Structure 1
Amino acid sequence: MTSKPIKIAATVVVALAAGAGIYTFTRPAATATPGAPASGSPAAAPQSTVDTAAVAAQFRDLLGNFRKIIVLLADEQSLPEGARDEARKVGQALFHENQERIAKLDAALDQLTAPTNPGRFEALDGLLRYIESDPGLYDADRLAFRELLQSMLADVAKDSSLPAIKLHKRISEDLDALGEIERNYEKEIRQIFGNLGQRAIELKRERWDDYVAQLKKLYSREQILKENGIVVPYAVPPAGSVPEAKPVPKKDEAEIFGLGLPKKTIVLTFDDGPHRRYTEEISAILKQYGVPAVFFNVGRNLGSLDAEGHAKLNAGAEVSRKLMKEGYAVGNHSFSHAQLSKQTGDKLKGEILGTDTLLKAISPERAALFRFPYGARNSEGMAALADAHLKSVMWNIDSLDWADPVPSSITNRVLASVDKAGRGIVLFHDIHERTVKALPAVLDKLIAEGYQFAGWDGTSFQVAKSSAPAPEKVPVTTGYANSWAVVIGIDDYAKWPKLQYAVRDAQGIRETLIEKFAFAPERVVTLKNGEATRNNILAAFHDKLAHGGVQKNDRIFVFFAGHGATRKLSSGRDLGYIVPVDSDPAQFATDAIPMTEIQNIAESLTAKHAFFVMDACYSGLGLTRGAGSSSFLRDNAKRIGRQMLTAGGGDQLVADGGPNGHSVFTWTLLQGLAGKGDLNGDGLITATELAAYVAPAVSSVSNQTPAFGSLPGSEGGDFVFELPGETEFLSPNTTQLSTEAIALNSKLDAKPAAASVTVKDLQGGEQKIVTPGAVPSSTRQLAQRANDRGLQLYKEKQYAAAEAQFTEALKLRPDFALAANNLGFVFYKQEKYREAARWFENTVKMDPSRAIAYLNLGDAYAKAGDAAKAKAAYKTYLELAPTAATAPAVRQKMEKL
Structure 2
Amino acid sequence: MISKPAILAVSAAVAAAIAGGYHLSRRPAQPPSAPSTQSAAAPAALRQTDALASQLKDILAAYRKTIVLLADEQGMTPGERAQATAVGQGLFHDNQERIAQADAALAALAGSGGAERHGKLAALLDYIEADPALYDADRLAFRELLQSLQGHVARDSSLPAIKLHKRISEDMDALAEIERNYDKEIRQIFGRYEQRGIALKRERWDDYVAHLKKLYSREAILKEYGVVMPYQGPQPGGEPAPAPPAADTGKAEEGEIFGTSLPKKTVVLTFDDGPHKRYSEEIGAILKQYGVPAVFFNVGRNLGSLDEARKPKLNGGAEVSRKLKAAGYTLANHSFSHAQLSKQTGGKLQAEILDTDVLLKAIDADRSPLFRFPYGARNSEGMAALDQARLKSVMWNIDSLDWADPVPSSIADRVLKTVDKEGRGIILFHDIHERTVKALPAILDRLVAEGYQFAGWDGSRFKVAGSASAPEAAPVAAGYGNSWAIVVGIDDYAKWPKLQYAVRDAQGVRQTLIDKFGFAAERVVTLKNGEATRNGILGAFHDKLAHGGVQRNDRIFVFFAGHGATRKLSSGRDLGYIVPVDADPNQLATDAIPMTEIQNIAESLNAKHVLFVMDACYSGLGLTRGGGSASFLRDNAKRIGRQMLTAGGGDQLVADGGPNGHSVFTWTLLQGLGGKGDLNGDGLITATELAAYVAPAVAGVSSQTPAFGSLPGSEGGDFVFELPAETEFLGAATAQLSNDAIAMNSRLEASGQPAAAQIAAAQAPAARPVPVTVKDLQGNEQKIIPPAAVPVSARLLAQRANDRGLQLYKEKQYAAAEAQFTEALKLRTDFALAANNLGFVFYKQDRYKEAARWFENTIRIDPSRAIAYLNLGDASARSGDTARAKSAYNTYLALAPAGGGAAYAKQQLEKL
- Which TM-score applies when normalising by structure 1? 0.63
The residue number in structure 2 matching 1:629 is 627
The answer to whether the Cα contact below 8 Å between 2:839 and 2:852 also exists between their aligned partners in 1 is yes
Q: Contact between 1:398 and 1:428, CA under 8 Å: does it hold in 2?
A: no
Question: Which whole-Å CA distance do the structure 2 matches of 1:501 and 1:65 have between them?
Answer: 67
CA separation of 1:549 and 1:752: change in aligned 2, threshold 3 A? closer
Which whole-Å CA distance do the structure 2 matches of 1:683 and 1:22 have between them?
41
Q: What SS is found at the alignment partner of 2:487?
A: strand
Cα distance in 2 for partners of 1:513, 1:824 equals 31
Distance 1:483 1:154 in 2: 45
Which of 829, 835, 838 is equivalent to 2:844? 829
Q: For residues 12-51 of structure 1, what are the structure 2 equivalents within 5 Å?
A: 12=16
Residue matched to 1:505: 505
Matches within 5 A, 1:132-531: 215=196, 254-256=255-257, 268-271=269-272, 278-286=279-287, 293-296=294-297, 322-323=320-321, 327=325, 370-372=371-373, 378-379=379-380, 382-383=383-384, 391-394=391-394, 427-430=428-431, 431=433, 432-433=436-437, 435-438=439-442, 453-454=456-457, 478-491=477-490, 495=494, 500-517=500-517, 519-521=518-520, 524-529=523-528
In structure 1, the residue matched to 2:670 is 670
Does structure 2 conserve the Cα–Cα contact (< 8 Å) formed by 1:400 and 1:428?
Answer: yes
Letter in 2 for 1:669: L
Q: CA deviation at 1:94?
A: 12
Note closer, same or farther for the CA distance 1:167–1:611 as it changes in structure 2 (3 Å cut): farther
Match of 1:694 in 2: 694
Q: Kindly provide the CA deviation profile for residues 131-164 of structure 1, in whole angstroms up to 9, marking residues without a partner as x.
A: xxxxxxxxxxxxxx9x999999999999999999
User: Whole-Å Cα distance in 2 between the matches of residues 373 and 362 of structure 1?
Assistant: 17
2:892 equivalent to 1:857: no
- Aligned partner letter, 1:689: E
CA distance, structure 2, for counterparts of residue 201 and residue 878 of structure 1: 31
Match of 1:721 in 2: 721
Q: 1-side partners of 2:840 and 2:268: how far apart?
A: 47
How far the C-alpha of 1:318 sits from its partner, in A, is 7.6
1:269 corresponds to which letter in structure 2?
T
The answer for the alignment partner of 1:800 in structure 2 is 815
SS of alignment partner, residue 644 of structure 1? strand
State whether residues 448 and 637 of structure 1, in contact with CA within 8 Å, keep that contact through their aligned partners in structure 2.
no
Residues 630-645 of structure 1 aligned to structure 2 (within 5 Å): 634=632, 635-645=635-645
Q: TM-score, normalised by structure 2?
A: 0.62
Shift of 1:380: 5.6
Q: Which residue of 2 aligns with 1:768?
A: 782
Give aligned pairs, total: 753
Q: Is the 8 A contact 2:136 2:178 kept in 1?
A: no
| Partner in structure 2 of residue 885 of structure 1 | 900
Q: Secondary structure at the match of 2:782?
A: strand
Q: Which residue of 2 aligns with 1:660?
A: 660
| Residue deviations 1:728-778 (CA, integer Å, cap 9, x gap) | 33222221101121121122122151354443322x322223444854745
Return the letter of the residue paired with 1:485: W
Deviation of 1:782 after TM superposition, in Å, equals 4.7
AA at the equivalent of 2:624? G
Distance of aligned partners of 1:611 and 1:443 in 2 relative to their CA distance in 1, 3 Å threshold: farther
Q: Deviations over 1:861-893 (max 9, x none)?
A: 321223234344445545555553223422432
Partner Cα separation in structure 2 for residue 597 and residue 416 of structure 1 = 51
> How far apart, CA to CA, are the structure 1 residues paired with 2:753 and 2:335?
54
SS at match of 2:196: helix
The letter of the residue matching 1:215 is R
1:274–1:298: 8 Å Cα contact kept in structure 2? yes
Offset of residue 536 of structure 1: 5.9
Instruction: Indicate the residue corresponding to 1:595 in structure 2.
Output: 595
Give the match for residue 685 of structure 1. 685
Q: Distance in 2 between matches of 1:22 and 1:174?
A: 9
- How far is the alpha carbon of 1:287 from its aligned partner? 6.3
Percent identity between the aligned chains? 53
* Secondary structure of residue in 2 paired with 1:393: strand
Once the two structures are superposed, what CA deviation does each residue of 1:197-232 show, in whole Å capped at 9, x if it has no partner? Answer: xxx9999xxxxxxx989726769xxxxxxxx9999x
Residue 730 to residue 435, structure 1, CA distance change in 2 (3 Å): same
Is the alpha carbon distance of 1:746 and 1:271 closer, same or farther for their aligned partners in structure 2, counting shifts above 3 Å? same
Give unmatched runs, 5+ long, in structure 1: 1-6, 30-46, 50-54, 73-82, 129-144, 179-199, 204-210, 220-227, 232-246, 304-316, 469-475
After superposition, give the CA deviation of every residue in 1:173-207 in whole Å (9 maximum; x if it has no partner). Answer: 999xx8xxxxxxxxxxxxxxxxxxxxx9999xxxx
The answer on whether the counterparts of 1:806 and 1:820 sit within 8 Å (CA) in structure 2 is yes
- Contact 2:277/2:320 (<8 A) preserved: no
TM-aligned CA distance change 1:718 to 1:409, over 3 Å? farther
Aligned residue type for 2:803: D
Equivalent-residue separation in structure 2 for 1:122 and 1:730 (angstroms): 42
Change (3 A) 1:874 1:540: same
Distance, in Å, in 1 between the alignment partners of 2:182 and 2:557 is 37
Superposed displacement of residue 792, structure 1? 1.7
Counterparts in 2 of 1:547 and 1:411: CA distance versus 1, 3 Å:
farther
C-alpha separation between the residues in 2 aligned to 1:837 and 1:825?
Answer: 9
- Aligned mates of 2:656, 2:183 — CA distance in 1: 48
For residues 22 and 665 of structure 1, what CA distance do their matches in structure 2 show? 61
Deviations 1:448-469 (A, max 9, x none): 99x895488xxx78999x999x
